[in-house]
């Protein structure tokens, strides 16, 4: 099967590749054409997932398709953007009809759940890797960014943390647990649900935001650096799910939440006066600390003592000794 036949059979015909709002021209030409309404800006982000680094060699291609787009769309949520479209650059060691069919189905399911259209990309031969570029739109001047946090703001997250990292021993077949616990954790890993609606609700409210991909402490460091402030994280207020606690226990669950990554939950800063309205609207917000003068990120215990761990999250190319 050639490259263009592969694209036609498994991607161009998918429901998510058909014309839709904001997409003037999709798959089939040298470029896609997007239309953004007056007064709005285009939000763009690219993620690459590589076998053996971001997912194991042997994994369900349907779940991989879901995960690949879900983690990319989470960047749009972090900016408060409304999703439009995405491209896929797929590198394959070989062509397997069964693998491609399942992968395309998983990709399409996540795309339709996020209201995104596949508008192009590329296919090549080589070690398995996926590069996805997502496009969204946001009203001019209202995009959420990592800068803007102000001393006195609350530090918040959009839900329980650590489930993605907690699922990793199950993904790698290193541990087992009861079916209900495993199912809940694996769903958070393989089918992360971008908090798109929450991101849009935070426009004009949050002073800074990002999605947690490399670990709470590491990612909060990006806000602290961009905003020129210090973030104080209260260890005992970090939300943990019941399945994670059942599988890991309190200490390991907390470690997964602080530095494990793979959460794709929003972390953001917020003026205290705006919290009540967001809670009343039903958003799953947990306050886990506050913004102070200074720099960096500090984890404190119930007595206010600094208990910041050395390892704060995942980094590519970190030197090991």
Q: What is the mean pLDDT of the chain?
A: 92
Residue 317 confidence (pLDDT) = 38
Residue 75 confidence (pLDDT) = 97
* Cβ-proximal residues to 211 (8 Å cutoff; 6+ apart), any chain: 74, 75, 77, 78, 194, 195, 219, 263, 264, 265, 266, 267
Per the structure block, which two tokens stand in for 30? 């040298």
Summarize pLDDT for 158-192 with one digit per residue, the tens.
999 999 999 999 998 899 999 999 999 999 999 99
Q: How much of the chain, in percent, has pLDDT values that exceed 70?
A: 95
| Nearest-10 Cα torsion for 16, 19, 24, 26 | 50
* Cβ-proximal residues to 303 (8 Å cutoff; 6+ apart), any chain: none
CATH class of the region 154-300 = alpha beta
In the 8-state DSSP scheme, what is residue 175? -
Please check whether the two domains, 3-139 and 154-300, share a CATH topology. no
Summarize pLDDT for 200-210 with one digit per residue, the tens.
999 999 999 99
8-12, 262-266, 311-315 — which is least confidently predicted?
Answer: 311-315
Instruction: Over range 84-96, report the average pLDDT.
Output: 93
Domain residue extents for the chain: 3-139, 154-300
pTM for the full predicted model? 0.91
Rounded to 5 degrees, φ, ψ at 165 are -65, -35
Q: What is the CATH number of domain 3-139?
A: 3.30.1330.10
Q: How far apart are the C-alpha atoms of 144 and 115, rounded to whole Å? A: 20
Instruction: Over range 139-154, report the average pLDDT.
Output: 97
């Amino acid at each position: 099967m050639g490259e263009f036949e592969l694209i036609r059979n498994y991607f161009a015909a998918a429901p998510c590749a058909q014309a839709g709002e904001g997409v003037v021209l999709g798959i089939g030409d040298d470029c896609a054409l997007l239309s953004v309404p007056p007064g709005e800006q285009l939000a763009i982000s690219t993620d690459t997932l590589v076998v053996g680094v971001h997912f194991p060699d042997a994994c369900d291609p349907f779940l991989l398709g879901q995960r690949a787009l879900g983690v990319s769309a989470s960047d749009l949520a972090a900016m408060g953007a409304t999703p439009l479209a995405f491209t896929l650059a797929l590198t394959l060691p070989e062509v397997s009809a069964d693998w491609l069919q399942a992968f395309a189905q998983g990709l399409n399911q996540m795309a339709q759940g996020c209201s995104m259209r596949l508008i192009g990309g590329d296919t090549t031969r080589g070690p398995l890797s996926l590069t996805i570029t997502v496009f969204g739109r946001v009203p001019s001047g209202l995009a959420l960014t990592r800068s803007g946090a102000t001393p006195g703001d609350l530090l918040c997250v959009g839900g329980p943390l650590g489930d993605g990292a907690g699922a990793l021993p199950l993904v790698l077949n290193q541990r087992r647990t009861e079916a209900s616990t495993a199912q809940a954790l694996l769903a958070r890993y393989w089918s992360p649900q971008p908090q798109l609606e929450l991101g849009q609700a935070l426009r004009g409210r949050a002073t800074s935001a990002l999605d947690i991909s490399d670990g709470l402490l590491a990612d909060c460091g990006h806000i602290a650096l961009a905003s020129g402030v210090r973030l104080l994280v209260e260890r005992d207020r970090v939300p943990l799910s019941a399945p994670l606690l059942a599988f890991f226990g309190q200490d390991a669950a907390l470690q997964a939440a602080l530095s494990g990554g793979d959460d794709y939950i929003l972390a953001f800063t917020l003026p205290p006066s705006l919290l009540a309205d967001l809670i009343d609207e039903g958003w799953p917000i947990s306050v886990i600390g506050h913004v102070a003068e200074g720099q960096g990120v500090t984890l404190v215990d119930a007595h206010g003592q600094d208990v910041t761990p050395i390892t704060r999250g995942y980094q590519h190319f970190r030197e090991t000794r």
